[in-house]
């Protein structure tokens, strides 16, 4: 039988200080019972996630009151200028966004984490133990949110991380939203009609890219040609947006033609060099363009896929076409020791949240892209 690791006195002291700090900021006496996060603590958690995970800086993260509701429609541009003669009053104000007949649905999502005793002891030597732990949780939650946003296809009652390692069953992400809500803006997948509703959720319809590809067969000479055709499928006012970014999967680009910026390297234990953790969480922008628009690689973006939509400018709230809504006041948390789980710290977190495309006019995608001539 392996020896059971015992938390050191220093580790216990650091843990007690962490517990006291969390209890104090949330105004609760007992964090080992389910408690609601204070508004200040809730906002601090969102801010820390955005600071720690670069892509979340390019997405609207918004608190809403209800579990269900109408999509807010931020980031759209309706004509609001006009004139009224005295005989034609009253004036008729118009919403500056674009309220559409589209609904959002939030689902309860669990973000439960644990730290082994050994890690607690290793971190307890640092005076900023609490801050390190808070960032650890923020990065884990932030990356999970992005993975679900790009890969989620359903909100199952009981999720299975082994069968769905990218969170495919946790929530309905942005790409699946487009397949369901705007099938004419999706290439590379067959449409299906059921109950009078058509969606782009059918069998893969591969798109081939290569010098011998035939456009008559729906294929393209290069990724630029595909991007131009995707943009051409948008309404004219959406095509004119200067905020569009072409998000591509790593397998669609070659670094010889797609040099990256903001791609730091870090030393490995064996003396080699490897991509640092920052790259995993950041949106990697290219110095070149695809289809005349800025190109980027986002973490967990599915292979063989290209999506074009306005992304918000870093630290500019409400400027993106992609949003993550969460229900205000729905965050619940409790933290405790669980020796039976061989852990000194088990942190249970939950929140009601959902993924939203503010305007489907401004988003197009192609999937099941591969290189070579069509067989």
Domain housing 344: 9-81+94-371
In a domain, 219, yes or no: yes
Using alpha carbons, list the distances in angstroms from residue 121 to 9, 114, 127, 245, 345.
9, 14, 12, 44, 11
- Determine, yes or no, domain membership for 4: no
Residue 265 has what pLDDT?
Answer: 39
Q: Which two tokens stand for residue 166?
A: 């990218």
Classify residue 89: in a domain, yes or no.
no
Cis peptide bond upstream of 90, omega within 30: yes
Q: How far apart are CA 201 and CA 192, in angstroms?
A: 6
pLDDT 10s per residue in the chain (375 long)? 456 778 889 999 998 888 888 888 878 878 888 878 777 777 777 777 877 777 888 899 889 999 988 887 655 555 667 667 767 767 766 655 555 568 899 999 999 988 888 888 999 999 888 888 888 888 889 999 999 999 999 999 999 999 999 999 999 999 999 999 999 999 999 999 999 999 999 999 999 998 888 888 889 998 999 999 999 999 998 998 889 999 998 888 765 455 544 344 343 333 333 333 444 456 777 777 899 999 988 889 999 999 999 998 765 656 799 999 999 989 998 888 877 766 778 899 999 999 999 999 999 999 999 988 888
Does any domain span residue 166?
Answer: yes
Q: Is the pTM of this model over 0.95?
A: no
**Structure confidence at residue 38 (pLDDT):** 73
Q: Residue 271: inside a domain, yes or no? A: yes
pLDDT at residue 78, as a whole number: 59
- What is the count of structural domains for the chain? 1
Q: Does residue 236 form part of some domain?
A: yes
- What's the rounded Cα separation, in Å, for the pair 341 and 114? 9
Phi-psi region of 291 (alpha: psi -120 to 50; beta: other; left: phi over 0): left
Farthest-apart Cα atoms in the chain, separation:
91
Q: What is the pLDDT of residue 232?
A: 95
CATH for 255: 3.90.1690
Whether 45 is covered by a domain: the verdict is yes
Residue 275: predicted pLDDT: 37
Residue 218 domain flag: yes
- Cα end-to-end distance, the chain, whole Å: 58
Cα of 307 vs its chain's centroid, Å? 13
pLDDT at 56: 86
């Amino acid at each position: 039988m392996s020896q059971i690791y015992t938390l050191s006195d220093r580790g216990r002291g650091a843990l007690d200080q962490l517990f006291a700090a969390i209890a104090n900021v949330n105004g609760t006496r007992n964090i080992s019972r389910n408690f609601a996060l204070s508004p200040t603590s809730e906002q601090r958690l969102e801010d820390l996630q955005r600071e720690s995970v670069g892509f979340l800086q390019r997405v609207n993260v918004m608190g809403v009151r209800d579990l269900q509701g109408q999509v807010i429609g931020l980031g759209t541009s309706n004509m609001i200028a006009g004139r009224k003669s005295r005989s034609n009053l009253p004036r008729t104000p118009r919403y500056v966004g674009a309220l559409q007949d589209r609904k959002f649905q939030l689902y309860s999502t669990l973000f439960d984490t644990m730290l082994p005793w050994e890690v607690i002891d290793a971190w307890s030597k640092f005076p900023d133990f609490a801050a390190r732990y808070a960032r650890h949780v923020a990065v884990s939650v932030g990356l999970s949110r992005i993975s679900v946003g790009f890969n989620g296809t359903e909100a199952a009652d009981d999720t299975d991380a082994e069968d769905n390692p990218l969170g495919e069953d946790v929530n309905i992400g942005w790409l699946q939203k487009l397949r369901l809500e705007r099938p004419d803006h999706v290439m590379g997948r067959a449409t299906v009609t059921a109950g009078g509703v058509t969606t782009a959720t059918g069998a893969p319809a591969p798109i081939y890219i290569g010098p011998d590809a035939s456009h008559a067969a729906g294929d393209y000479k290069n990724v630029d040609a595909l991007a131009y055709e995707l943009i051409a499928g948008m309404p004219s006012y959406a095509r004119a947006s200067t905020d569009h970014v072409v998000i591509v999967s790593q397998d669609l680009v070659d670094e010889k033609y797609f040099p990256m910026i903001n791609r730091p390297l870090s030393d490995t234990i064996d003396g080699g060099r490897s991509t640092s953790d920052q790259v995993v969480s950041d949106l990697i922008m290219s110095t070149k363009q695809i289809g005349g628009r800025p190109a980027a690689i986002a973490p967990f973006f599915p292979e063989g896929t290209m999506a074009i939509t306005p992304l918000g400018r870093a630290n500019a709230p409400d400027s993106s076409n992609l949003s993550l809504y969460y229900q205000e006041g729905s965050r619940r948390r409790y933290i405790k020791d669980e020796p039976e789980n061989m852990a000194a710290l088990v942190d249970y977190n939950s929140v009601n949240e959902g993924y939203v495309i503010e305007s489907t006019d401004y988003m197009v995608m192609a999937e099941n892209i591969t290189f070579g001539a069509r067989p």
